[in-house]
Structure 1
Amino acid sequence: MTILIKNTASNPTVDYAASELAYYLEKMTKAEVGFSTDEADIVLKLVADDEENDHAQYQLQDNQVIIAGNRPVAVLIASYQYLHALGARFLRPGRENELIPNIEVEEIKQIKAYDHVASYKHRGVCIEGANSLENILEFIEWLPKNGFNSFFIQFANPYTFLKRWYSHEFNHYLEGRDLSDAEIQTMSDEIDEAMALRDLRHHRVGHGWTGEVLGYSSEFGWESGVELAEDKRDLVAKVNGKRDLIQGTPIFTNLDMSNHKVNEEMAKVIVDYAAKHKEVDYLHVWLSDGDNNVCECDECQKILPADQYVNFLNYLDEKLTEAGLDTKICFLLYHELLFAPEESKIKNPERFVLMFAPISRTFEKSYADVDYEHGIPEPTPYVRNKTTLPNSLEENLAFLFDWQKNFKGDSFVYDYPLGRAHYGDLGYMEISQIISRDIRYLDKLHLNGYISCQELRTGFPTTLPNYVMGRTLWDKSLTYEELEKEYFTAAFGKEGMTVAAYLEKLSNLSSSDYFNKIGSRINAQLAAQYQGCVSEAVAILLVVIKGLKDSQASQHENWRVLAYHRQAVIKLATALGLQASGKQAKAEEAWIDFQDFIKLHEANFEPYLDVYRIIEVATNYAGFKYRE
């Protein structure tokens, strides 16, 4: 028997959805799958409607499976939701990591009707860490399979993230190489094409505009060791009596926003970029990536940084309008810009999207846990260049609510559970629960989505956090408990919930906050708990050995990753426990041993653990010192 698929839309993303259905249905049924312009078993339709969010449907009608969406990406997501209903589980990036069941041909029509509007408009991930081209492309391919619709490339291109991988920064056990400008551009173009093929909302740039005004390309990210040209000195923020680059790094350097030449130059750079890159749906316009570095000149002292920022955004809107550009601009609540403006207001809210970025927040508490009636303080008064970023959700939310008094437009949270904090959760279970509870609460915060600033290689021990993130953003009625069971049963088979219980113990005994520089480095209770992690990892060995013996294909790979993770946990928990006990010298020895272990094995496990990033975070935040 041949399964026939008909595509009624003339659209490359819907064409791709049809090809994906053909690939998976052939694997599932072992039947031939073909395409038809006439009678068919499955029909794809692009049906416009008034829904602001993605709307996906499938149903059996006149013995045909009708799969429809209101946007091309919605048709693609609807196709994957249909495959999910047939038993497919997209557990990790990469086709080899999926669980695809065998079914009978007639089962493709034995479905319940499905009609769902996405719970949130913005559902995406922003690139961080060190990544190969293959890492990025496989992650982009994975996004719509679990309900995501957006991807964010920081800077003008992903050079920074590619360079870290191909040079093997922090891991010279692997031989690195430099990338040519031509290679980087080719890779960047391929990434853009992958996003466009899937109709993903394209977010771009962010930090870097301040450097562009000074003559430094944003594509080089956190480039350092450069000198400021004399003819640009009057554009730079005056800090501690000097106008110069902060730490020799353009991206850490703010500008003198009272200087109208700064506004003119930055607006011109942004308008020129928007005109050349109409494929970008959301252009992020942020200031520097440093804190306590805003201009202290007499004119700037008269006005809050956020008022200057809003004034610039209004000026930028005028220039974009003059150029006939309808590009959406994302503006950032971050560092000094968490403090809301006192006088200025966004004049054209339709142009802008507010992005709340509580980078210093705890991940051991959810937005859902806050006492909103009695627990939200008044926002901390702004003191120029003497701010301390808050760890508490309550203080961070006070800033958001202050901004929301005068901005009622589109918005989302730009959050960081998988950017640093996850390394401290040794089982990834607590961070997954926080993600679930945060997302299910977003509408009560008047936020219309979530972009996760994160490493793409966050699968150590599992990709449960991103699985929960994507599927809950798509449908917030899904509970953490049902997603946990679905994931672990698919990933590990009949012992899946045994694995979940083990990882839950690791999460309960470890601390994402501790790894993320929240709290004292010496903590007797945590020291004992880290020893408990070691004991749990030792005790699970026979279960892991049996799991490896009894599994195959993607489930065997998940057991293999768990076996490696078990050894890594013993080494890392030992180092953390020694540090928490105050035995820093021995902790450093254990940390070096852990580094040696993960660097030695990176070639075999690189899709799952970002060795560059865990070393960077551990030495910048967790308290360890050594790195190459």
Structure 2
Amino acid sequence: MIIEYSNLNNERKIFLNKELADILYLCRRNQIPVPEINLLIIDSTDPTELPQEIKHRLKIRCMAGVEKPDNFTDLCEYEKNIQTSQSILNNNKLWIIGGGAEGAIYGFYNAVKKITGIRWYGTSESSVRFAKPAEIIEDIYRPELAFRGFEFSPSEEKHDFACRFLKWMVRNGWNLLDINASRWSVYPFRDEFIRMCNAFGIKLAIGCHAVELFVPDSLFETNPEFFGLREGKRCIKAIVSFPDINKKSESRIQPCYSNPKLRDIMTDAIVNFINNHPETYIFSLWPHDGINNWCQCDKCITKTPYEIMYNLALEITKKIKRFLPIELLCYSNMFLIPEKTLQFSNNTYTLFCPYLRRYEHRFFDDGFDEKKLTIGTRYPDPDPINPTDDREYGVLLNRWLPYLKKIGSTPGIFSYYQLVFHDETGKSDRSRYLYHPDYKIVEDEIKKFIELGVKVFYDCSPPYPNFWPDEKFYSYLSAILWEQHQSADEIIAEYYRAVAGERAEVLMNILKNISLSLKDRTNPEIPESLIRTAKGIFSNLTEPISNRYLLWIDYIQMGNDSWKALKNGDINKMIETENHIINFFKKNRAILEECIDVDYMIRYSKSVINFYQNKEDK
């Protein structure tokens, strides 16, 4: 199999030829037969003359001469069209025709997966596996959502991983990164990163929680009125309260957005940043991270936080004088819907953020009393950050969708399905064990999001990488964001057959039982017989997957010991166990760092220690 012809640019041709050479090498090494098929990879925006017999069978829209739209609604359809591909087999030649270059690249990966069965489940070489090749390789391959991405900021110390992550993204059909502007400004390998993103068709949404880059703290000395008012004083930081967890902590306070001079300085700085960073495909206009940290001056509290940020987006749009999508958030205090209908603009999209869930219900499941809604209801008084029920987010989303339609902002979802977070309510430590939530919840919710008109989907599930103990979650999440996909349970079964061969069913069953044992954290007892059985099964797997599972079960036992100590009120024992966990990650860093961000997991343990130590001190 060779790439006989392509009209892609040279960088993309070189990259795909290298990818194909590596794939064929892996096929030979794993004794995977490869049919003699030549590939012709075509970007239809370049008016290359196709043979008549290929033109006659072409069903996708060729995008030659189609201009990029100047509004976000139409941009989403345009993006889906250029990312679409069709594979047509003719006389041992497979024509892979993309709506655009992106479609041609995605079509290439879709074709080689079907032909050889290759799968890139993770970012390391050891995570490359082979499933059963497809019987039919002709296909129309089209995304369900225009933008599918991650919140991920590359760093100097983890640059190599960032490059591997980009390759993993394009191989699995992801095309968007949300990058913090402050971190991006100091990242020394920007040019290389941008070059790779351009070659792979990955778009950059830059901004995120980086207000201090555009409103630097140094302004406080000369213009304290630019900064938020708290307890009658202008400040950069202040103590804020979290009523649902009876906690107070220091947080950055939002600027005084009602001050016209502040808005002018901030929007000028943002526009200058955008103009100096042409790689910015989308600007992410996020406030300071946190909750209950908004300016309390008389003018600011007359507007909802979402209204404040939306109006700021309109000011930026006016100054840019060209179409550039602006990304807004709907989370914490910003869940409160403005009383008035804001000025219409189809230049933005709004990310709905169902944060800190325990995944006991689908967000749209029946049975929740709307009168019990707690989040997004109290501003300007302090809001809780933790939902009492997953279905609170369903109530909020149903209220927001018609409002967003009125103002022209496209809905998006910022998901946290596999986020490792410290549940400060003390109700559960489930997320730390990584193996959650139920795939049926994820699959059903994404299907519902698509039905509701969502066009942008982010996965915000740090740590990255998050392939420990295995890559099950991303094996199906990546696939179900595309049309005509297999069901999640079929993809998962295929994944475990590729990983464990004849032991797949046994492995799936023991993992299911472990997950069930971790579900009820009011009764944190994991049967010793289950642990012994799991270790026996894991020991019979091949390396390195065997060692990863064995280390994971050790981690579960330590985490469970910490949780039991906490529930028994033995804070010293809990702290001692968390320190053992920290040492565990340090000791096994070399083994685990290709599949999990070890430093993130260490920070998790430290955050648990600090949270309860501070409570004890008080």
- Counterpart position of 2:190: 188
Residue 604 of structure 1, aligned match among 573, 591, 610: 591
Superposed displacement of residue 199, structure 1 = 1.0
Q: Secondary structure at the match of 2:548?
A: helix
Report the Cα offset of residue 413 of structure 1.
0.4
Aligned 8 A contact 2:291 2:385 in 1: no
The CA RMSD over aligned residues, in Å, is 3.3
Residue 479 of structure 2 corresponds to 471
Aligned residue number for residue 284 of structure 1: 284
- Output the amino acid matched with 1:153: I
SS of the aligned residue for 2:120 comes to coil
Q: Compared with structure 1, are the counterparts of its residues 621 and 330 closer, same or farther at alpha carbon in structure 2 (3 Å cutoff)?
A: farther
Percent identity (aligned): 17
Please say if 1:574 is aligned against 2:561. yes
Output one character per residue of 1:331-358: Cα deviation in whole Å (capped at 9) or x when no partner. 1112221112222524321x11111122
Structure 1 segments of 4 or more deviating over 4 A?
128-131, 247-251, 370-380, 621-627
Q: Does 1:352 align with 2:351?
A: no
For 1:26 and 1:478, locate their aligned partners in 2 and report how far apart those are by CA, in whole Å.
28
Paired residue for 2:117, among 72, 87, 102? 87
Q: Return the alpha-carbon distance in structure 1 between the equivalents of residues 379 and 172 of structure 2.
A: 43
Change in 2 beyond 3 A, CA 1:616/1:423: farther
- Return the letter of the residue paired with 1:596: N
Within 5 A, what are the aligned runs for 1:330-409?
330-349=327-346, 351-370=347-366, 381-391=377-387, 392-408=389-405, 409=409
**Displacement, 1:212?**
2.7
Assess if the C-alpha contact under 8 Å between 1:425 and 1:510 holds in 2.
Answer: no
8 Å CA contact 2:417–2:437 kept in 1: the answer is no
Q: Does 1:504 align with 2:512?
A: yes
Counterpart in 1 of 2:578?
Answer: 591
- Assess if the C-alpha contact under 8 Å between 1:346 and 1:407 holds in 2: no
Separation of aligned partners in 2, 1:40 and 1:497: 34
* Deviation, structure 1 residue 128: 6.7
Change (3 A) 1:415 1:559: same
Q: Pairwise mapping of residues 477-488 of structure 1 onto structure 2 (< 5 A)?
A: 477-488=485-496
CA distance in 2, matches of 1:147, 1:15: 19
- Quote how far apart the aligned CAs of 1:526 are: 2.7
Contact 1:60 1:111 in 2 (8 A): no
1:570, distance to aligned residue in structure 2 (A): 1.9
Cα displacement (A) at 1:100 = 4.6
**Structure 2 CA distance for partners of 1:504 and 1:362, relative to 1, 3 Å:** same
Q: 2:100 aligns with which of 63, 66, 71?
A: 71
CA positional deviation for 1:244: 0.7
CA displacement, residues 484-533 of structure 1 (integer Å, 9 cap, x when unaligned) = 1111111222212222211111211224xxxxxxxxxxxxx63544433x
Q: Please show how residues 57-456 of structure 1 align to structure 2 within 5 Å.
A: 57-85=86-114, 86-100=116-130, 111-127=136-152, 132-158=158-184, 185-209=187-211, 211-215=212-216, 229-247=220-238, 252-321=252-321, 325-349=322-346, 351-370=347-366, 381-391=377-387, 392-408=389-405, 409-421=409-421, 424=431, 426=433, 428-453=435-460, 454-456=462-464
Distance 1:390 1:497 in 2: 37
Q: Is the 8 A contact 2:145 2:482 kept in 1?
A: yes
In the alignment, is the contact (CA less than 8 A) between 2:497 and 2:504 conserved in 1?
A: yes
Q: Tell me the amino acid that sits aligned with residue 161 of structure 2.
A: N
| Paired residue type of 2:457 | Y
Query: Greater CA deviation, 267-276 or 588-597?
Result: 588-597
1:16 to 1:334, Cα distance in 2 relative to 1, 3 A: same
| TM-score normalised according to structure 2 size | 0.81
Aligned residue-pair number: 554
Name the CA shift for 1:530/1:69 in 2 (closer, same or farther; >3 Å): farther
Alignment of 1:42 onto 2:39: yes
Q: Could you tell me how far apart the structure 2 residues matched to 1:282 and 1:306 are?
A: 18
**For 2:121 and 2:517, how far apart are their aligned partners in 1?**
26
- Distance in structure 2 (CA, Å) of the matches to 1:89 and 1:495: 19
What displacement does 1:11 show?
6.0
CA distance in structure 1 between the partners assigned to 2:575 and 2:266 by the alignment: 45
| Aligned amino acid, residue 168 of structure 2 | W
Contact (CA 8 Å) 2:5, 2:40: kept in 1 or not? yes
The Cα shift of 1:433 comes to 4.2
1:443-482 superposed Cα distances (whole Å, 9 cap, x missing partner): 2333123101132121110121122211111247432211
Distance 1:463 1:158, change over 3 A: farther
Matching residue within 535, 542, 561 for 1:541: 535
For 1:188, give the aligned amino acid: R
Residue type at the aligned position of 1:452: D
1:25 matches 2:24: yes
Paired amino acid for 2:437: E
Q: Distance in 2 between matches of 1:480 and 1:228?
A: 51
**Which residue type is aligned with residue 257 of structure 2?**
M
What 5-or-longer segments of structure 2 have no aligned partner?
31-35, 46-60, 64-76, 240-248, 422-428
Equivalent residues of 2:226, 2:256 under 8 A apart: yes
Say if 2:353 and 2:413, in contact at 8 Å, map to a contact too.
yes
* Secondary structure at 1:495 match in 2: helix
Match of 2:4 in 1: 5
- Aligned-partner Cα distance in 1 for 2:99–2:251: 39
Q: 1: distance between equivalents of 2:452 and 2:373? A: 16
User: Taking structure 1 as reference, are residues 360 and 526 closer, same or farther at Cα in structure 2, changes over 3 Å only?
Assistant: closer
Provide the TM-score with structure 1 as the length reference.
0.80
User: Match of 2:33?
Assistant: none
Change in 2 beyond 3 A, CA 1:81/1:213: closer
For structure 1, the 5+ residue unaligned runs are 32-38, 160-183, 217-226, 512-524
Instruction: Show the counterpart of 1:489.
Output: 497
Task: State the alpha-carbon separation in 1 of the partners of residues 328 and 607 from structure 2.
Answer: 27
Q: Counterparts of 1:544 and 1:342 in 2: how far apart (Å)?
A: 56
Deviations 1:14-69 (A, max 9, x none): 553343223313432589xxxxxxx9821001125365313122231232111122
Counterpart of 2:52 in structure 1 is: none
Question: SS at the partner of 1:6?
Answer: strand
Contact 1:44 1:66 in 2 (8 A): yes
Distance in 1, matches of 2:103 and 2:598, equals 35
Shift of residue 406, structure 1, vs aligned partner: 3.0
Aligned to 1:531: 526
The answer for the alignment partner of 1:562 in structure 2 is 549
1:153-172 Cα shifts (integer Å, max 9, x gaps) = 2234358xxxxxxxxxxxxx
Instruction: Deviation per CA, 1:275-326: give whole Å up to 9, x if none.
Output: 11121211101111121121111222333233222222222221112xxx32
Higher relative contact order (CA 8 A, sep 6+): 1
Distance across 2 between alignment mates of 1:136 and 1:486: 27
**Partner residue in 1 for 2:425:** none
Q: Distance in 1 between the 2:193 and 2:85 partners? A: 25
Residue identity in the other structure for 1:191: F
Conserved? CA contact 2:524–2:563, under 8 Å: no
Instruction: From the superposition, tell whether residues 302 and 440 of structure 1 become closer, same or farther in structure 2 (CA, over 3 Å).
Output: closer
Shift of 1:562: 1.3
